[in-house]
Structure 1
Amino acid sequence: MLRGLYDWTLSLAARKSAEWWLAIIAFVESSVFLVPADVLYLPMALSRPDRAYRYALVATLASVLGGIAGWYIGHYAYDAVAKPILEFYGKYDDFEALRTRAGTGFIVLMLITSGLAHLPPIKVVTILSGVIGTPLLLFILLAIVARGARFLFLAWLLRRYGEPIREFIEKRLGLIASAAAAALILLYITVKYAI
C-alpha cells in the first residue's frame, strides 16, 4: 500500500496541475498524510530548475498552513479526529508518551528535527503542538523556519547541482539530516540536564 501511495504521489509531478498537487500534498502531509511532499517536490524542481525556489515557497506555505490545521486538530479535536489518525498509523502509544514529556522547548526541537529529517513525522509534531497548547504564533514562526529551511535548501541543492544531486538527496540526505537532528537532540539534552 505504501509503495502504491508513493508511486501515485510521484506520478503527480508530470501533470500540468503539479504545483497545485504539491500544495495539496504539502498541506495534508503536515496533518494527516503519510508520504512527504519531497516525493513530489524533487521531480518537479529537477524538471523545472528555474522554478525550484517557487516550488519551495509553495511547499513551505502549504506545509505551514497544513501545520496550522494539525495544530487545530490537536487543540480542538484530539479525541474526535487526532486520536483515530494516530491509531490508524499505529502511533498513538508513541504520541501519548511524547505528550506526557512535551513542553514548548521540546516542540521547538521536534519542529527543527522534523523539518530537517522527518523525525518525528511533521503530522505528529503539529498535532502534539495543539494538544499541549503551544502558542499558535510561536508554532507558526517555528514551522515557517523549519519547513522553509528544508525546501529552500533542497531548491538550492537542485539549482546548483541538478540531476546528479537527486540520487544523493534520495539516498543520503535523510541520513545526514538524521545525524544533524540527533546532534541537536543531544545538544538539547545536554543543555537541559547538564546545565
Structure 2
Amino acid sequence: MLRRLYNWLLNLAGTKHAEKALAAVSFAEASFFPIPPDIMLIPMVLARPERAWRTAAICSIASVVGGFLGYAIGYYAGPLGVWILGLFGHPNGLKEFHDWFEKYGVFLIFAKGLTPIPYKLVTISAGLAQFSLMWFFIASAITRSLRFFLVAGLVKKFGPEITELMEKRFYLVGTVVVVLIVVGILAVKLLPH
C-alpha cells in the first residue's frame, strides 16, 4: 500500500498539479501522513531546476503550517496524538518526548526538523508537552526551510547524481547534520560570553 502511494506521489510530481500536491503532502506529512515531501520535491526540482527556490518555499511553508495541525493534535487531542505516535513506533512516546522537550526544548525541534525523522513526531509531541508555540514556530520555520532549501539547492546544482547519493546515504547525511547542530549548540553554550 505504501509503495503504491509512493509511486503515485512520484508520478504526481510531473503533472500540472504538482505544486498544489506538494503543498498538500508537505502539510499532511507534518501532522499525520507517512511519506516525506522529498519524494515530490526532488523530481520537481530535477524537472524544473529554475523553479528550485519556489518549489522549496512551497514545501517549507506548507510544512510549517502543517506543523501547527500536528501541534494542535498533541495539545488539544492528546489521545489521538499518543495514538499517532504509537503508529510511528513510539507507543510510550508521550513521556519520552515530554522529557526530551523538558531537557532540550527548542534544540530538539532544530535537531529533528532537519533530519529524516518523521516531523510529525516533533509537532505532535511539542503539542503534548505544551511547548511554547512561538518557539515551536520559529524553530520549525528555520529547520524546515533549511532542510528543503538545502535539498533543492543540492539537486539543482548536482542533478541526478546527488539524488542517487542522497538516497543511498540519507541517514548518514541526516546524522551528520544533527552532529553539526549539536556541536554548534555546545560551542554556543560553552564559549565564554
Question: Could you state the TM-score of these two structures normalised by the residue count of structure 1?
Answer: 0.86
- Secondary structure, in 3 states, of the residue corresponding to 2:13? helix
Q: In the TM superposition, what is the alpha-carbon distance from 1:87 to its structure 2 partner?
A: 2.9
The number of residue pairs the alignment matches comes to 190
Task: Give aligned-pair identity as a percent.
Answer: 35
Q: Distance in 2 between matches of 1:28 and 1:5?
A: 14
State the match for 1:89 in structure 2.
Answer: 88
Q: In the TM superposition, what is the alpha-carbon distance from 1:6 to its structure 2 partner?
A: 1.8
Equivalent residues in 2 for 1:166-185 (5 A)?
Answer: 166-182=163-179, 184-185=181-182
State the match for 2:24 in structure 1.
Answer: 24
- Secondary structure, in 3 states, of the residue corresponding to 2:39? helix
Over the aligned positions, Cα root-mean-square deviation in angstroms equals 2.4
- Deviating above 6 A after TM superposition, structure 1's stretches of 4 or more consecutive aligned residues are 186-192
Contact 2:106–2:135 (8 Å) recurs in 1 = no
State the match for 1:116 in structure 2.
Answer: 114
State the match for 2:50 in structure 1.
Answer: 50
Q: Where in structure 1 are there 5+ consecutive unaligned residues?
A: none
Contact 1:116–1:178 (8 Å) recurs in 2 = no
Q: Distance in 1 between matches of 2:186 and 2:91?
A: 24
State the match for 1:162 in structure 2.
Answer: 159
Contact 2:41–2:152 (8 Å) recurs in 1 = no
Q: Distance in 2 between matches of 1:90 and 1:180?
A: 23
Q: Distance in 1 between matches of 2:187 and 2:64?
A: 29
Counterpart AA for 1:152 = F
Per-residue CA deviations over 1:5-45 (Å, capped at 9, x if unaligned) read 22222121121101001000000100001110001100001
Q: Distance in 2 between matches of 1:24 and 1:124?
A: 18
Q: In the TM superposition, what is the alpha-carbon distance from 1:157 to its structure 2 partner?
A: 1.2
Which shows bigger deviation, 103-112 or 165-174? 103-112
Q: Distance in 2 between matches of 1:59 and 1:37?
A: 7
Contact 1:107–1:129 (8 Å) recurs in 2 = no
Q: Where in structure 2 are there 5+ consecutive unaligned residues?
A: none
Counterpart AA for 1:180 = V
Counterpart AA for 2:91 = Y
Question: Could you state the TM-score of these two structures normalised by the residue count of structure 2?
Answer: 0.87
Q: In the TM superposition, what is the alpha-carbon distance from 1:112 to its structure 2 partner?
A: 2.0
Q: In the TM superposition, what is the alpha-carbon distance from 1:4 to its structure 2 partner?
A: 2.3
Counterpart AA for 1:64 = V
Give the 3 Å change call, closer, same or farther, for CA 102–72 of structure 1 in structure 2: same
Counterpart AA for 2:5 = L
Q: Distance in 1 between matches of 2:29 and 2:66?
A: 7
